[in-house]
Amino acid sequence: MRELISAAQLAKRIGEMGKEISRDYKGREPIFVGVLNGSFIFMADLLREVTIDCEVDFIKLSSYEGNASSGTIHLRKDISSDVAGRNVIIVEDIVDSGLTINFLKSRIEDSMPSSVAVVSLLFKREVAKLNFDLDYVGFEIPADYVVGYGLDMDQKKRNLKGIFSIEDELEKNCN
C-alpha cells in the first residue's frame, strides 16, 4: 500500500476546515449529517475542530460491493432529526462517481432545510459527475481506490491512521 495522505496532513487540513466552517456558520447552529460508515472518523475529528454550537446525526447508505459501485443506492438508516428550516452540512468521507452525494443532497433538500452544504474529506474530481459544487473539500486525489481513516476495502482497513492507495495490490491480484 502507498501512503497518499499522512495522519499529520489530515489533522492539519481538518483543523483548517473546522475553522472555515465555524466562521461561515456562526450563529446558524448547523446539523452535521455524516454518511456511514466511511465518515465516522472524519466526523469525530472535524466536529472537535468546530467551535460553534452544532448538532450531529448520521445516515447510512450503501452502493459499493468490494471496491466497485453497484450503481444503486440503498438507504440502510435514515437521519432522526427534523431538518426543516435548519442549516444542514452533509459530511462525506469521499466523493468518487458522485452518485451517492447527488442522491443524498436532493433527498435532504426534499425535507425543506434552510440550506444544505456538502463537506467531503476526499474528492476524485477526475471521475466525479456532480449536479452541484462541493462546498468544502479536504483533498483532491487521483481516481485510485483508497483505504484508511474510516474508508474500507470489504469492511477492512478503516482503522489505518492515514489514507493509502491500494491500486498496486488490486493490480497484483488481477495478474
Distances, alpha carbon 164 to alpha carbons 1, 11, 167, in Å:
6, 16, 9
Nearest approach, Cβ of residue 87 and ligand IMP (Å) = 22
- Report which secondary-structure segment, H or E, holds 94: strand 87-95
96 catalytic? Reply is: yes
Query: Could you give the string, one character per residue 13-52, with x where binding to ligand IMP holds by CB under 6 A and - elsewhere?
Result: ----------------------x--x--------------
Nearest approach, Cβ of residue 131 and ligand IMP (Å) = 12
What residues between 80 and 139 interact with ligand IMP by CB under 6 A? 92-101
Neighbouring CB atoms inside 10 A of 147's CB total 22
Catalytic residue among 57, 78, 82, 96: 96
Distances, alpha carbon 39 to alpha carbons 34, 35, 45, 119, in Å:
6, 6, 10, 11
Nearest approach, Cβ of residue 88 and ligand IMP (Å) = 17
C-beta of residue 32 within 8 angstroms of C-beta of residue 47: yes
Q: Which residues are catalytic?
A: 96
Query: Which residues are near ligand IMP by CB under 6 A?
Result: 35, 38, 63-64, 69, 92-101, 145-147, 151-152
